[in-house]
Structure 1
Amino acid sequence: MIAALLAGAALTAPAIKYPMTKTVNHVDMYHGVAVSDPYRWLEQPVSVPEVRDWVTAENKVTFGYLEKIPGRDRLNKELGRRINFERFGTPSKYGDVTIYSRNSGLQNQDVVYVVDKPGAEPRVLLDPNTLSKDGTVALNGMDVSDDGKTLLYGLSSAGSDWVEWHVRDIATGKDKSDVVKHSKFGVGMLNADASGIYYLRFPEVKEGEAFTAANTQPRIFYHELGTEQSADELIYELNEHPDWFIWPGLDESRTYMYLYVNDPSNPNNILWGIDLEHRDRGVQKLFNENDADYNPVFRRGSEHFIWTTKGAPTGKIMVMDTVRRIAPRTIIEATKDTIEAVSVVNNKICIRVMKDAKSAIKVYELNGEFIEEVKLPGLGAVAGFGGKSTDSDTYYSYADFTTPSVIYHYDFASKKSTEFRKPKLPFDTSKYEAKQVFYKSKDGTQVPMFIVHKKGIKLDGSNPTLLYGYGGFNVSNTPWFSTSRTVWMDMGGVWCLANIRGGGEYGKEWHEGALKTKRQNAYDDFIAAAEYLIANKYCTSKTLAIQGGSNGGLLVGACMTQRPELFGVAIPEVGVMDMLRFNKFTIGAAWEADYGSPENLEEFFALYRISPYHNLRANTVYPATLVTTADTDDRVVPAHSFKFAARLQAAHVGEAPVLIRIETDAGHGAGKPITKVLEEVTDIYSFILHNTGKKIPAKF
């Protein structure tokens, strides 16, 4: 039985006077177990006066503390200096048109550019920075017609997942009158002749519930340009399973729609299809067993090329024929390398795989015959390598922990990559180094971890060390470059990434190793990473900080409640903290595939044991903690962080600060303007250094 009680009399007087937070006598019954929820009232929308007043009071204490940390403004200035360089996105071609993104340095949002034909000068196609004074309107989804004449783009405000779709004529730069609402998650696409759009729509929510109401009954609609949205045509809905989720995707011809169907309780997916030119034929149930992952790659007539984990935990490629109706045949067998992405370009199957969380690109003929492994600049991460089956070339980006994203052009005929764009940094990266180590978790599992720092550091336990993790939803954490991380390292810091179970680094089995009742494995892996760093004298418990966002915020919350003495600082960002009620808000029900359901007896007890909110214990010394969230986060609603922070402040008896930083007009993280990002990173680094006994340098 978990007895997470509220704090009684404090053992030591807190150094900070926290706002008084009222409690309510609310008890829920789960399978005969009475569970207290004294901060239930903080689940109300931020617009409710008593919640708004609580947010204001907490932020006053938090920002009052952060602003007094010596050197904070100096750190903020240096972070801004380092990110102030020109950055480009990977180009995509549509007919004669090439489209890419660019940021001049400190622009809040990336700008979309178009090159009308080879050799032409680029011009601005879409600049989200002009749509709001504070940079909080962001691009959230984009599609371009195959002829390069029409742009579909989605806009989100204040970090919300809700999207409004707009259509722009690329030649003139003028928008059509259409505005399509009630869509979410950036799922929208143009039809074959760009006369309309397919989009994912959710029922309208009641006023004041946009950031709390559960998102159920997703439906796929078609909007004909030039008509009212009220006349939009329903393409498909799951009447028999309103709590399931469907995600549409078009094939290369845009005449066939794939439907990814997800039962929230199952980590696999069903795959169906609709021939949009013959809709009277109904839905084709391509893979209806819900026993593996099924991802369409390419369609050639009645042949469907599928990337699947069926009998292949690391993934394989097979082909099924919906006319011949013979058993699907495997054309590319699984290997020890994990498939991360698949595309068909130049009539070649291009597979991005991971080898110990590092990228490789393998190219095959459509019959599965191996051609080559593309030579990459180093052991890092690749993005891109997409396009159409008729393209003769492609672009991709490469980055690692010490190399910023460089864009390469790849020619299929010569099998050569050439450097296309390389950023010019305002600082030297040659003084940093990265390595990968493997350590044993509690059950003996070998887990990889990247460690990055300045060359020549001393392993004497004195280094402020930041351990980052995620470990969920089959998401893989591969090397990426961060300008803020270089600042951290120049302040003497060590930065570490633990590729714990629950992620996708080693395929299906690695993901399933931390599913539902096995979630504790992810936390054991992370705790073991911390113990490795201490044992190898990178740091001590006092100089070790842990950080993670979203599911990673849950990770940090679980670890700091299970082993509070192991960490000096904890930074749980936009975390899922109430594991008994996560499925009640917005898209939370979809997470049951990873977490399990409180309605299931066995899964309830597993969730109760790990839930950060429910495992805070009275009269306990917790690490210095900076909880972060945002008032308009409609992915992981801020109530998770509100309740956790309130209970933590009541339970904590040490002198280390336990604060909550609540961003205004921001969401889960995507589309957050650079100005807000810089302020948040400044606060996090300042907080960590100050609470590990370190100082921000007088000079960088």
Structure 2
Amino acid sequence: MRANFFLSLIITAAALVLSDAPLAENAPDTPKKPVATEYHGVTVEDPYQWLETDDDSQVKAWSDAQNQQTRKYLDSFPDRTGIEKQLQEWYAKTSPSYFSLVSRPGILFAMKFQPPKQQPLLVTLASADDLKSEKVVLDPNVLDTKGTTAIDWFVPSFEGKYVAMSLSKGGSEDGTLHFYETATGEALPDTIAHVQYPTAGGSAAWNADGTGVYYTRFPRKGERPDADLNFYQQIYFHKLGTPDTKDTYSIGKDFPRIAEITLAGSRNGKYIVATVANGDGGDFAHYLLGPDQSWKQITQFSDQIKLARLGRDNALYLLSRADAPHGKILRLPLDVPELKNAAEIV
């Protein structure tokens, strides 16, 4: 029975390949709009570069027409319905999986992938050994029944009462920061747009008492030219219960255009480390926010510090490649946060 089904699947796939001529003949027209661009002294002409502007109304209309034509073509195959049904049944039998675990006192946060749901959901557990204690904080498949809304990332407050999470739609990864109460799953009214984007990602870290978050922010319309609105990432602070127009600048005006910022807080919330990548080149700078609410630069791009992690012993641990091609581990006390005070431990 299953062998016959696979034979049918292979025949259908072959039919898709061999009978693509009618699809091509009936495909919507794709206008050529030549654009010449010079790369390293070589001029390259691209007649379809206009299709890269995915928010343009003409590009959207072209994409919709292509999708409709393809959908009509695929739906015309008599075996498609049976194949879809069988694949859905097999997919639904896949065991759920958990990932991106984050612990807080007495509670464990985790992303859960549970086929046939389109998107992973955020849940809490009493412990990793007690799956029956699972509670859903947010299921984006309920929030958006089309399955096009995804959780980009989440950060619980230090006591676990609230959780901040970036949500994006339609695979855009253009994330808006939302806030939820852990125990009830109720959404707070606060939202902050454009905290996450594929050009640099996004991040957030709570303050010690859970009354607000430091978060990555991209420029707003009018703050920079349109070509730079998905670059020049900075860090701002948001106090819960206030509009994002009241958010305050924290650091980042001097960061590179292609800066990619990751935030991480200590377990007691007194310190926050900002790791600033200089694009994808592998160079990093690190900044420390202490109890005095002022940022201090710990490392520069030239220092060859590749990782920085806050320990539980009032110290910052650093992975250094300086004069150490295989790496070395440094320990830097937080009460004297200057790289010259770091001691090599491995």
1:132 and 2:140 matched: no
Change (3 A) 1:41 1:112: closer
Change (3 A) 1:260 1:53: same
How much has 1:115 moved relative to structure 2?
4.0
1:267 and 2:314 matched: no
1:147 and 2:159 matched: yes
Instruction: Show the counterpart of 2:109.
Output: 99
**What is the CA RMSD across the aligned residues, in angstroms?**
3.4
Q: Letter of the 1:77 partner, please give it.
A: K
Kindly provide the CA deviation profile for residues 430-452 of structure 1, in whole angstroms up to 9, marking residues without a partner as x.
xxxxxxxxxxxxxxxxxxxxxxx
Match of 1:196 among 212, 215, 226: 212
Change (3 A) 1:129 1:29: closer
Match of 2:194 among 179, 182, 191: 182
1-side partners of 2:159 and 2:34: how far apart? 62
Conserved? CA contact 1:238–1:244, under 8 Å: no
| 3-state SS in 1 of match to 2:282 | coil
Change (3 A) 1:27 1:240: same
2-side partners of 1:61 and 1:176: how far apart? 42
Instruction: Show the counterpart of 1:83.
Output: 91
Q: Letter of the 1:28 partner, please give it.
A: T
1:110 and 2:125 matched: no
Conserved? CA contact 1:191–1:255, under 8 Å: yes
Instruction: Show the counterpart of 1:331.
Output: 345
Kindly provide the CA deviation profile for residues 339-365 of structure 1, in whole angstroms up to 9, marking residues without a partner as x.
xxxxxxxxxxxxxxxxxxxxxxxxxxx
Q: Letter of the 2:214 partner, please give it.
A: Y
Conserved? CA contact 1:294–1:307, under 8 Å: yes
2-side partners of 1:83 and 1:177: how far apart? 36
1:283 and 2:296 matched: yes
Conserved? CA contact 1:299–1:305, under 8 Å: yes
Change (3 A) 1:167 1:23: closer
Instruction: Show the counterpart of 1:449.
Output: none
Conserved? CA contact 1:260–1:269, under 8 Å: no
2-side partners of 1:235 and 1:112: how far apart? 29
| 3-state SS in 2 of match to 1:89 | strand
2-side partners of 1:203 and 1:20: how far apart? 37
1-side partners of 2:339 and 2:42: how far apart? 52
Instruction: Show the counterpart of 1:21.
Output: 30
Higher relative contact order (CA 8 A, sep 6+): 1
| 3-state SS in 1 of match to 2:345 | strand
Kindly provide the CA deviation profile for residues 444-484 of structure 1, in whole angstroms up to 9, marking residues without a partner as x.
xxxxxxxxxxxxxxxxxxxxxxxxxxxxxxxxxxxxxxxxx
Match of 2:53 among 44, 60, 63: 44
2-side partners of 1:32 and 1:14: how far apart? 39
Kindly provide the CA deviation profile for residues 502-536 of structure 1, in whole angstroms up to 9, marking residues without a partner as x.
xxxxxxxxxxxxxxxxxxxxxxxxxxxxxxxxxxx
| 3-state SS in 1 of match to 2:141 | helix
Q: Letter of the 2:106 partner, please give it.
A: D
Structure 2: runs of 5 or more not aligned: 1-19
| 3-state SS in 2 of match to 1:279 | coil
Instruction: Show the counterpart of 2:311.
Output: 299
Kindly provide the CA deviation profile for residues 282-331 of structure 1, in whole angstroms up to 9, marking residues without a partner as x.
422x2214363521123356632112444455544332346286464443
1-side partners of 2:174 and 2:274: how far apart? 21
Report matched runs for 1:257-656 at 5 Å.
257-264=272-279, 267-280=281-294, 282-284=295-297, 286-290=298-302, 292=304, 294-299=306-311, 303-313=315-325, 315-321=327-333, 323=336, 326=340, 328-332=342-346
Instruction: Show the counterpart of 1:231.
Output: 246
Conserved? CA contact 2:205–2:263, under 8 Å: no
Kindly provide the CA deviation profile for residues 45-79 of structure 1, in whole angstroms up to 9, marking residues without a partner as x.
35423x23432443344345544567443332232
Change (3 A) 1:37 1:82: same
Instruction: Show the counterpart of 2:8.
Output: none
Change (3 A) 1:14 1:156: closer
1:54 and 2:70 matched: no
Match of 1:171 among 183, 197, 201: 183
Change (3 A) 1:302 1:114: closer
Match of 1:34 among 43, 52, 63: 43
Identity percentage of aligned residues? 25
How much has 1:116 moved relative to structure 2?
5.8
How much has 1:145 moved relative to structure 2?
2.3
Change (3 A) 1:116 1:319: closer
2-side partners of 1:102 and 1:263: how far apart? 32
Change (3 A) 1:309 1:14: farther
Change (3 A) 1:213 1:81: farther
2-side partners of 1:66 and 1:291: how far apart? 55
Instruction: Show the counterpart of 1:160.
Output: 172
| 3-state SS in 1 of match to 2:215 | strand
Conserved? CA contact 1:205–1:213, under 8 Å: no
Conserved? CA contact 2:195–2:203, under 8 Å: yes
1:254 and 2:269 matched: yes
Change (3 A) 1:43 1:205: farther
Change (3 A) 1:269 1:252: farther
Change (3 A) 1:43 1:326: closer
Change (3 A) 1:82 1:35: same
How much has 1:156 moved relative to structure 2?
1.4
Q: Aligned pairs, how many?
A: 313
How much has 1:114 moved relative to structure 2?
2.9
Q: Letter of the 2:92 partner, please give it.
A: N
Report matched runs for 1:62-81 at 5 Å.
62-67=70-75, 71-81=79-89
Instruction: Show the counterpart of 2:236.
Output: 221
Conserved? CA contact 1:287–1:294, under 8 Å: no
Q: Letter of the 1:78 partner, please give it.
A: Q
How much has 1:92 moved relative to structure 2?
4.1
Conserved? CA contact 2:232–2:255, under 8 Å: no
- Normalising by structure 1, what TM-score? 0.40
Conserved? CA contact 1:220–1:236, under 8 Å: yes
Conserved? CA contact 1:26–1:38, under 8 Å: yes
Conserved? CA contact 2:178–2:191, under 8 Å: yes
| 3-state SS in 2 of match to 1:141 | strand
2-side partners of 1:65 and 1:293: how far apart? 54
How much has 1:136 moved relative to structure 2?
1.3
Change (3 A) 1:295 1:46: same
Kindly provide the CA deviation profile for residues 156-207 of structure 1, in whole angstroms up to 9, marking residues without a partner as x.
122222222222222343332222223113412222111101110001248x
